[in-house]
Amino acid sequence: DIVMTQTPLSSPVTLGQPASISCRSSQSLVHNDGNTYLSWLQQRPGQPPRVLIYKISNRFSGVPDRFSGSGAGTDFTLKISRVEAEDVGVYYCMQATQFPRTFGQGTKLEIK
C-alpha cells in the first residue's frame, strides 16, 4: 500500500499570511497512463470533505485561486497564498494512482 505522510500535522497561521502543507508518498504516484493522481481535500469543522485540487495542480470548480498545488513523483505541496478565516479545517492529501486509495493523516489549519 502507498503510505501518504503529511507535514506539519498542525499549522497555526495568521490571517492574511501564507500557509503550506507537504505530502510525501512512499512510492511514485505516476500512473501507467502518465498522470499523477494526487488530490488535496479540505474538511471544514462539521462538514464532509471537499476536493480542492486534483492531479497535483488542477483547481476544482469554485475553488479560490489562493489555493495552489505543486509537486511531482513522491513530493507534493498545497499552498494557500493568503489565509482567510473560512480556510480553517483539516486538509488531506490523497492518492488515486493505485488501490487501495490512501489518505494522509490530515493537517489541521488554525488561526493564531
Partner 1 sequence: EVQLVESGGGLVKPGGSLRLSCAASGFTFYTYTMNWVRQAPGKGLEWVSSIGSSSNFIYDADSVKGRFAISRDNAKNSLYLQMNSLRAEDTAVYYCVRGFEGFDYWGQGTLVTVSS
Q: Which residues are at the interface with partner 1 (CB under 8 A)?
A: 31, 35, 37, 39, 41, 48-51, 54-55, 60, 90, 92, 94, 96, 99-106
> How many angstroms separate the CA atoms of 36 and 53, rounded?
12
Considering the complex, state which of residue 18 and residue 73 has its C-beta at the smaller distance from partner 1.
73
Provide, rounded to whole angstroms, the least separation between the CB of residue 14 and partner 1: 26
Q: Rounded to whole angstroms, how far apart are CA atoms 44 and 41?
A: 10
CB of 60 to partner 1, least distance (A): 7
CA 59 to chain CA centroid, nearest Å: 11
Which residues have C-beta within 8 Å of that of residue 46, sequence separation ≥ 6?
A: none
Shortest Å distance, C-beta 61 to partner 1: 9
In one-letter notation, the amino acid at residue 52 is L
Q: Given the complex with partner 1, which of 21 and 90 has the nearer CB atom?
A: 90
In this structure, the chain runs to a length of 112
**Least CB distance from residue 15 to partner 1, whole Å?**
26
- In angstroms, rounded to a whole number, what is the distance separating the alpha carbons of residues 8 and 63? 23
Judged by beta carbon, residue 49 or residue 66, the one nearer partner 1 is: 49
Nearer to partner 1 by C-beta: 16 or 72? 72
